[in-house]
Amino acid sequence: MSVRVRFAPSPTGFVHVGGLRTALYNYLFAKANEGTYLLRIEDTDQERYVEGALENMLDSLSWAGIPHDEGVVLTNGKVTDKGNKGPYIQSQRLHIYREHLQNLLDSGHAYPCFCSKERLEKVREQERKKKGTPRYDGHCRNFSQKEISERLDSGETYVVRLKLPEKTDIKFHDLIRGDVSMNTEDMDDQVLMKSDGYPTYHFAVVVDDHLMEISHVIRGEEWLSSTPKHVFLYQALGWEAPIHVHLPNILNHDRKKLSKRHGDVAAEDFRRKGYLPEALINYIALLGWSPKENQELFTLEELEQNFSLERVSKSGGVFDVKKLNWINSHYLREADIDKLAELAIPHLVEAGLIDESNVEKEKDWVKNLTAVLRESIDHLSELPAKASVFFRDEIQVEAGEAQEWFESDELRTLKQPLIEALSELEEWHESTIKKALKPIQKDTGLKGPKFFKPLRVALTGNVHGPDLMLVIQVLGKERVLKRLEKLPS
């Protein structure tokens, strides 16, 4: 069987990390099986339509680095199709749904329902009072063809519902959850076509997955209870159902499904904070999937080689920001410094630390600053706070060992020789700085920690930190001399 999978989000404004993981698992499964990964847009709920959301979603997926082989693409700012199974946007496929809906009406597997919203709510309220499952009571199921025709001719508003068989078990096999069975007594006659002429998700997804030859439906577990309806729809239309795979939810620390109210949960949120896409992808891959080896850091290529659905858990994975930060800090340390500096610039501009109009001139300085600080941050939005030490004339000395060195005889001994040597330095570079400091070590007899610790404290207020010569270069000659001159004598 040729593997064809799809990610089919609604364009409602952002890509949730749960959706991003679904896209990733579909992509990885396709890669592992030399299959095709497709992106389809499910926009039949027009009330949820958000202007520009589709473009933002495509941009987020592109940023995350999960390319699709077929489906909706963004080319020069324009949304187009790639592949021969389109259109890949549901609102452009209404004529296709109408054709298959008529087949269901003709075969008796669907029927028009004329119930008002008020009546439906009253029925649901009655069920709630009886502590039953709020569902449609089948009021329009058995109308005669004559009554249906009269209502249609009179222009009554209606929807089309699926006509489920009574007291029937519908069964299917899920690759993660095993055999699943649900009786139609616990199900609703699902609306297939709304009064506005748009199909519901439940109808459109079945038609699209069949016509696009989807072999495996890999989606979140929230769709598990709806799958029996989909399975019955396949049967009613005379089609073979795809293999179903329902992924565990991503949870917050209270083990409830992660949602927008829990804070930053969209790919765009993490992008804005300065997380690297390869770090986010690495982390969410581990939220539900466990590799064979005890490995936590994966490139996308390594994920492609190692991923399998057999090692996806039934239970949800807890989203742990600390673990994400640990992974991201690894990628920050490993990243190309020029690329990282480019990503750092918007954060420094937003904080007002560098002037947007002067970015080109500041690029080398930002590169050195990023090299100095990248080991002390979890994501790039932390950079401005860490960088503030390079913009102040005053330093804040840490308590404890740093304060002891700040008040030490060694620092008093070093103060004047440092000012004299560095004042005369014409080329301000870490290599020339290092060379200028060597005679001072020889003349004062202060070497190793007794030289470098008081010097670091004098310039940064801390005992430990990144490469001191690079720190001095980034601070700049003027600020270094100001800080040295303010030292106690």
Q: What is the pLDDT of residues 366-410, one digit of tens each?
A: 999 999 999 999 999 999 999 988 888 778 889 999 999 999 999
DSSP annotation of 244: E
Start-end of CATH 3.40.50.620 domains in the chain:
4-90+250-318, 93-247
168 Cβ contact list (under 8 Å, min separation 6): 183, 184
C-alpha dist (Å) from residue 136 to 117, 123, 167, 185, 223: 11, 7, 15, 11, 19
Strands 216-220 and 178-183 turn out to be unpaired
So what's the pLDDT on residue 322? 96
Name the strands in the sheet holding 36-39, side by side, starting at the edge strand that comes first in the sequence.
Answer: 4-7, 36-39, 70-75, 78-82
Start-end of CATH 1.10.8.70 domains in the chain:
336-388
So what's the pLDDT on residue 362? 86
CATH (residue range 336-388) = 1.10.8.70
The answer to which of 95-109, 187-201, 213-227, 381-395 has the lowest mean pLDDT is 381-395
C-alpha dist (Å) from residue 220 to 19, 225, 227: 8, 11, 11
Q: What is the dihedral of CA 385, 391, 393, 396, to 10 degrees?
A: 20
Q: Which entry of 122, 171, 260, 339 is annotated as an active-site residue? A: 260
The pLDDT tens digits of the residues spanning 15-40 come to 999 999 999 999 999 999 999 999 99
So what's the pLDDT on residue 339? 96
- Whole-angstrom Cα distance, residue 374 to residue 230? 50
Question: In terms of Cα–Cα distance, which of 469, 489, 480 is closest to 393?
Answer: 480
Hey, what are 241's tokens? 């159902």
The pLDDT tens digits of the residues spanning 465-479 come to 888 999 999 999 999
- Whole-angstrom Cα distance, residue 70 to residue 86? 9
| SS3 label, residue 220 | strand
Residue reference for tokens 């740093």: 402
**Mean pLDDT, rounded, of the chain:** 93
Fold category of 401-485 in CATH:
Arc Repressor Mutant, subunit A (1.10.10)
Hey, what are 427's tokens? 């080329």
The pLDDT tens digits of the residues spanning 38-51 come to 999 999 877 776 77
So what's the pLDDT on residue 252? 87
Question: 74 - beta bridge partners?
Answer: 79
Start-end of CATH 1.10.10.350 domains in the chain:
401-485
Fold category of 4-90+250-318 in CATH:
Rossmann fold (3.40.50)
Hey, what are 93's tokens? 């496929």
| SS3 label, residue 73 | strand
The answer to which of 28-42, 165-179, 354-368, 415-429 has the lowest mean pLDDT is 354-368
Confidence of residue 223 (pLDDT cuts 50, 70, 90): very high
260 is annotated as an active-site residue: yes
Name the strands in the sheet holding 216-220, side by side, starting at the edge strand that comes first in the sequence.
Answer: 178-183, 169-174, 243-247, 216-220
Give ∠ CA 32-9-133 in degrees, rounded to 5. Answer: 110
So what's the pLDDT on residue 262? 55
Confidence of residue 432 (pLDDT cuts 50, 70, 90): very high
- Tallying the residues shown for the chain, one arrives at 489
- Say if residue 261's pLDDT is above 70: no
So what's the pLDDT on residue 298? 97
- Say if residue 264's pLDDT is above 80: no
The answer to which of 234-243, 245-254, 340-349, 351-360 has the lowest mean pLDDT is 351-360
- Whole-angstrom Cα distance, residue 319 to residue 468? 37
So what's the pLDDT on residue 418? 95
Q: Does domain 93-247 have CATH number 2.40.50.100?
A: no
Distance of CA 305 to the CA centre of its chain: 21
Mean pLDDT in residue range 265-281: 95
So what's the pLDDT on residue 394? 79
- Whole-angstrom Cα distance, residue 431 to residue 86? 60
DSSP annotation of 225: G
Question: Is 0.85 topped by the overall pTM?
Answer: yes
Residue reference for tokens 């005369």: 424
Question: 473 - beta bridge partners?
Answer: none
Mean pLDDT in residue range 98-114: 97
So what's the pLDDT on residue 124? 86
Question: In terms of Cα–Cα distance, which of 33, 28, 40, 134 is closest to 81?
Answer: 40
Mean pLDDT in residue range 316-324: 93
Let me know: does 383 contact 348? Beta carbons within 8 Å.
yes
94 Cβ contact list (under 8 Å, min separation 6): 197, 198, 199
Confidence of residue 178 (pLDDT cuts 50, 70, 90): very high
So what's the pLDDT on residue 265? 85
Percent of the chain residues topping a pLDDT of 70: 98
Q: What is the dihedral of CA 56, 265, 386, 390, to 10 degrees?
A: 10
- Say if residue 433's pLDDT is above 90: yes
C-alpha dist (Å) from residue 42 to 8, 11, 86, 304: 6, 7, 13, 27
